[in-house]
Amino acid sequence: MNQWEMIARGGFQFFGKMTASVAHEIKNALAIINESAGLLEDFTLLAERGRPIDPERLKLLAQSVMKQVHRADGLVKNMNRFAHSADEPIKIIDLVETLELVVSLAQRLAAMREARLDLVMPDHPVMVATNLFLLENILWSCLDFLLAGNHKLVQLIPETTGEGARIRLVGQFGFPVDPAQAFPSEREKALLEALKGELEMEPQVGEMILSLQKNF
Amino acid sequence: MRVLLVDDEAELVSTLAERLSFRGIEADWVTTGEEALKQVEKQRYEVAVLDVKIPRISGLALKRLLEEQDPQLKFIFLTGHGSEEDFMIGSAEAGEPYYLIKPVELNLLIEKLHEIIKGRGKGLP
């Protein structure tokens, strides 16, 4: 399999994983709305039998439904943004916006590992010309690798550099260097090559630094 | 009947527990596998309703740990994954009658709870 075949195959898998993750989250939001509506119906039936309805409970249920509708709407918007990531092979992007999207998409992954993702906002916009979809893909792989440790917090720090930009992914402690689970794998190396990027690993301090050139 | 609901979506399990209580089923709820293990240690349940995916542990792995604590405990799985393939895999692992897809129809869940208690279903591996 050549570099582009590897990237394409992995890209489909990545896209599928994102879609499944968002679909799962939407299902959860719908399940809560479903139960809240059911509970409202229960209260109505009980009221018909003479049990008074507590207005405070109704208010909380309405708030819960609104919260879940907002959550589902956010998920759909993010999925839509993500779906358009592959529209252009190269575009000038604001790294903060990209990282906000990646953090949103990775929330479920982090929650499953009882971790939190924290995007550290830079003082100035960090702009770079790159392939957005491939960048999201490599960032996801890096987060997946880091979150496999027991970090409770992973920080994402975008920074402007002389050559372009870099993203520091910082865990709470070092990670073991296991040759059997080498990271970056051949696929991630192919992604980095396509992005003309570099990935430095700092296992002692649990940090990964993804550097990108200003001009693709 | 007393059941334990385990799902990391607190709003889902708390509401479900209240709705079950209106129908004469005592339900407690927790949001992590660790809490589920503690809860089963101090309280006897007839059925545990588990989300397939909860933080740090899969529903099936949690089932095995809970079974060690209480071999009499029976299980129903809930999942947010609705694909046909997921359903087939989950059904094969969990036992078809006891694998439900969210959002769950409450009457169907209650039907399955009664079924599993009476031992009419296929049973779990």
* Token representation of residue A197: 């990027």
- Per-residue buried b or exposed e for B67-89, using 16+ beta carbons within 10 Å of the residue's own CB: beeeeebbbbbbbbbeeeebbee
* Separation in Å, CA B122 to CA B86, B98, B99, B111: 20, 9, 12, 14
Q: Which of B12, B18, B19 sits opposite A31 (nearest CB)?
A: B12
- How far off is chain B from A39, nearest CA to CA, in Å? 6
Chain centroid offset of residue B100 CA = 9
- Which distant-in-sequence residues (6+ apart) come within 8 Å of A172 by Cβ? A151, A152, A153, A154, A206
Provide the pLDDT for residue B125: 33
* Token representation of residue A138: 């490599």
Provide the pLDDT for residue B123: 38
pLDDT for A156-181, tens place per residue?
A: 999 999 989 999 999 988 877 666 66
Contacts of B81 in chain A (CB under 8 A): 20, 23-24, 27
Which own/partner pairs from B19-22 qualify as long-range (CB within 8 Å, at least 24 positions apart)? B19/A35, B19/A38, B19/A39, B19/A42, B19/B106, B20/B106, B20/B110, B22/A42, B22/A46
d(CA A201, CA A142): 10
B124 confidence band (pLDDT: 50, 70, 90): very low
**Average pLDDT over every residue of A198-208:** 92
Which residues on adjacent β-strands are paired with residue B77?
B50, B99
Interface probe, candidates B21, B22, B102, B110, chain A, greatest A C-beta count within 10 A: B102
pLDDT for A91-137, tens place per residue?
A: 999 999 999 999 999 998 999 888 999 999 999 999 999 999 999 99
Are the Cβ atoms of B9 and A28 closer than 8 angstroms? Answer: yes
In the stretch 23-52 of chain B, residues with CB closer than 8 A to chain A read: none
Provide the pLDDT for residue B94: 58
- How far off is chain A from B10, nearest CA to CA, in Å? 9
Give the residue, A1 or B120, on which the prediction is more confident: A1
Provide the pLDDT for residue B24: 95
pLDDT for A34-60, tens place per residue?
A: 999 999 999 999 999 999 999 999 999
Provide the pLDDT for residue B2: 96
Provide the pLDDT for residue A136: 97
B92 confidence band (pLDDT: 50, 70, 90): low
d(CA B70, CA B42): 11
Interface probe, candidates B8, B9, B11, chain A, greatest A C-beta count within 10 A: B11
Interface probe, candidates A25, A32, A51, chain B, greatest B C-beta count within 10 A: A32
- How far off is chain A from B8, nearest CA to CA, in Å? 9
Provide the pLDDT for residue B88: 62
Average pLDDT, chain A: 92
Residue type, B86: D
